[in-house]
């Protein structure tokens, strides 16, 4: 599935970030492919907020659609 489909509170594993620049930027924030993040907030039709450690990043809807993730239970 893709990041925009996740629901608040779910733990997800980032599988693939296709955009090279975004991938490099994400890795600096601690979000590398394979990283586990929490979906902290989903703004209706808007950005998805993911959190890891003690920080939050808002990711635009279109970008979230391109990031594939896997649900962790």
Kind of pairing between the strands at 36-42 and 48-52 = antiparallel
- State which of residues 7, 9, 36, 43 lies at the interface with another protein (CB under 8 A): 43
Total residues in contact with another protein, by rule CB under 8 A: 31
Nearer Cβ to another protein (12/26): 26
Site for another protein contains 53 (CB under 8 A): yes
- Asked if 3 and 65 count as a contact pair (C-beta separation under 8 A), the reply is yes
- Asked if 6 and 42 count as a contact pair (C-beta separation under 8 A), the reply is yes
Shortest spacing between CB 29 and another protein, in angstroms: 5
């Amino acid at each position: 599935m893709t990041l925009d489909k996740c629901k608040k509170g779910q733990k997800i594993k980032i599988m693939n970030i296709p955009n090279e620049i975004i991938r490099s930027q994400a890795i600096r924030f601690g979000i590398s492919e394979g990283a586990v993040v929490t979906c902290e907030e989903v703004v209706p039709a808007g950005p998805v907020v993911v959190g890891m450690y003690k920080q939050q990043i808002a990711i635009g809807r279109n970008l979230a659609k391109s990031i594939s993730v896997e649900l962790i239970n």
